[in-house]
Amino acid sequence: MTNYETPLVLLLAGGVGSRLNILVQTRAKPAVPFAGLYRIIDFSLSNVMNSGFTHVGVLTQYKPLSLMRHIGTGEAWDFTGRSRGVKILPPRTGAKDSDWYKGTADAIRQNIDFIKAHPSKEILVLSGDHIYRMDFEHMVQFHRSKKADITIGMMVVDESEIHQFGAGITDDDGRIIEWEEKPAVPRTNLASMGIYVFDTEYLLRVLLENREETDFGMHIIPKAIKHDNVFAYPFYSYWRDVGTIQAYWEANMEVIRNDAEISPEAWNIRPNLEENDMLADRSPARFCRNCEVKSSMISAGCRIEGEVINSVLSPGVRVGRGAVIKDSIIFNDCVIERDAVVDLAILDKRVQVGASAIIGYGESKDVPNKLYPKHLYTGITLLGKECIIPQSAKIGRNCIIHPWRTPEDFSSLVIENGEFV
């Protein structure tokens, strides 16, 4: 392909992702760590790289600094050189909040100058917060074969989940003839993946015709279906929206299953090893005498003296003698001191769990979190970045310990189910 023949990629990475709770208190959702070595956005960036596309604009907005550091020059995904590149595209913010992106279409509209500076036949629009593997070249060829104005990546989901997505009804040729955005009563199980191929001239015309239309799913697509050629590109492989604590935990657990559908290494998903707390300089993991590790992912720089079961440990985690970690996700450089227990929890970076403390105390998982009952209701407890759990503390199920809390912030060593500090 010539440069003009290669689609320009616009990657939407500005969402708040509020359902991930304190995991996005200090970072954008696409920058949340995943499966020990990666961040969520690594999957989209690697899919672009593996598809052979070379120019990417990353549209940021909410807490972009960690994301910007992670992407850097784009070298980790081979986006450096005379004919390739990745550029961070923040909102054109002025003095008013109204200058921020109002929706997916508005985000693209605010970057029309970037589109014009990188001429292409098509524009590929992606979300930066999904876990999947996809060859976008196949989707582009499908788009061209149908002479489509818009092609939408779509897959079959359970009808109980369709209310979270845009939903399309197609004819026998795959053309979308009806559209419902997050339908309460669905008439189809075909859901949008938030992946679009647009004819570039068509997209520019539509965005400039009506500047009040700010969102693809709510405004642009329903109107286009009535007048233009909009097709569904069927996708049948693994894809997961990790926008909730439960979905995020489940996806991490799937990585370490023996029959895992998801395999970042086999998919050629690349992390940024230089940025990820200098992972490239970490020493190999150390497994001490009498430790026990079962069905887990242990990253470089970890030191295991205790027991790790069905868990994902990011680089630099230390597990003390007699400590037990089970069904948990532990971010970089956490310290689990001797005889402590971490059961069904997610620990952000550099958390310290004091000796003999218990995270995930008690058997009952039925009491949802008092502040966020729709975020934490299956027993998972969250510990925020750099918090310090006192020795012998007992933290229940569905609890939240906010970032940077210290022993002085605990009025009691027992935190009941559903409570918070």
**Phi and psi angles of residue 136, each rounded to the nearest 5 degrees, phi first:** -70, -20
pLDDT at residue number 354:
98
User: Domain end: 206, 237, 255, which one?
Assistant: 255
Q: How far apart are CA 326 and CA 310, in angstroms?
A: 6
Q: What is the rounded average pLDDT of the residues 88-93? A: 77
In the chain, the amino acid numbered 87 is K
Closest alpha carbon to 362 in 379, 337, 376, 374: 379
Q: Please, what is the end-to-end C-alpha distance for the chain in angstroms? A: 56
* Domain, as residue range, for 200: 8-255
pLDDT at residue number 92:
67
Closest alpha carbon to 272 in 26, 48, 43: 43
Binning pLDDT at 50, 70 and 90, where does residue 50 land? very high
On whether residue 272 sits in a domain, the answer given is no
Same domain as 96, residue 53? yes
Residue bearing the bigger pLDDT, 83 or 246? 246
Same domain as 165, residue 297? no
Same domain as 75, residue 162? yes
Residue 45 · residue 275 · CB < 8 Å? no
pLDDT at residue number 409:
96
Same domain as 306, residue 394? yes
pLDDT at position 184 over 50: yes
Other beta carbons less than 10 A from residue 128's beta carbon: 26
Q: How far apart are CA 319 and CA 311, in angstroms?
A: 12
Binning pLDDT at 50, 70 and 90, where does residue 1 land? very low
pLDDT tens digits for 190-201? 999 999 999 999
Q: How far apart are CA 115 and CA 188, in angstroms?
A: 34
Same domain as 309, residue 163? no
On whether residue 75 sits in a domain, the answer given is yes
pLDDT at residue number 83:
83
Q: Two tokens at 369?
A: 């979190």
Same domain as 407, residue 300? yes
Q: What is the CA radius of gyration of the chain?
A: 23
Residues 193-232 as b or e (16 or more Cβ within 10 Å = b): bbbbbbbbebbbebbeeeeebbbbbbbbbbebbeeebbbb
Which H or E run contains 227?
helix 221-227
User: Domain end: 255, 272, 292, which one?
Assistant: 255
On whether residue 233 sits in a domain, the answer given is yes
On whether residue 138 sits in a domain, the answer given is yes
pLDDT at position 81 over 90: no
pLDDT at residue number 415:
96
Same domain as 286, residue 251? no
- Is residue 177 helix, strand or coil? strand
Most confident of the ranges 17-21, 242-246, 352-356: 352-356
* Rounded (5°) CA angle 73-74-75: 90
Q: What is the rounded average pLDDT of the residues 3-18? A: 85
pLDDT at position 326 over 70: yes
pLDDT tens digits for 125-153? 999 889 999 999 999 999 999 999 999 99
On whether residue 142 sits in a domain, the answer given is yes
pLDDT at residue number 103:
82
Binning pLDDT at 50, 70 and 90, where does residue 255 land? very high
Other beta carbons less than 10 A from residue 153's beta carbon: 23
Q: How many domains does the chain fold into? A: 2
On whether residue 89 sits in a domain, the answer given is yes
Q: What is the rounded average pLDDT of the residues 352-372? A: 95
Same domain as 45, residue 125? yes
On whether residue 340 sits in a domain, the answer given is yes
Same domain as 306, residue 181? no
**CATH number of the domain residue 242 falls in:** 3.90.550.10
pLDDT tens digits for 262-321? 999 999 999 998 775 667 788 999 999 999 999 999 999 999 999 999 999 999 999 999
Residue 235 burial by CB count (10 A; 0-12/13-18/19+): exposed, middle or buried?
Answer: middle
Same domain as 200, residue 52? yes
- pTM (predicted TM-score): 0.94
Q: What is the rounded average pLDDT of the residues 33-41? A: 95
| Those residues with Cβ within 8 angstroms of residue 96's Cβ, 6 or more apart along the chain or in another chain | none
Q: What percent of the chain has pLDDT over 70?
A: 96
**CATH number of the domain residue 363 falls in:** 2.160.10.10
Mean pLDDT of the chain: 91
User: Domain end: 212, 237, 255, which one?
Assistant: 255
pLDDT at residue number 277:
63
Same domain as 366, residue 228? no
E strand spans, 262-398: 286-287, 292-294, 297-298, 303-304, 307-309, 312-313, 318-319, 324-326, 329-330, 335-336, 341-343, 345-347, 352-353, 358-359, 381-383, 388-389, 394-395
What DSSP letter does each residue of 94-141 carry, written as one string? -SSGGGS--SHHHHHHTTHHHHHHS--SEEEEEESSEEE---HHHHHH
Same domain as 370, residue 243? no
What DSSP letter does each residue of 41-61 carry, written as one string? HHHHHHHHHHTT--EEEEE--
pLDDT at residue number 122:
96
Binning pLDDT at 50, 70 and 90, where does residue 87 land? very high
Q: What is the rounded average pLDDT of the residues 324-336? A: 98
pLDDT at residue number 2:
44
Residue 225 · residue 264 · CB < 8 Å? no
pLDDT at residue number 95:
43
Q: How far apart are CA 188 and CA 136, in angstroms?
A: 25
On whether residue 411 sits in a domain, the answer given is yes
Which H or E run contains 247?
helix 245-255
Residue bearing the bigger pLDDT, 258 or 16? 258
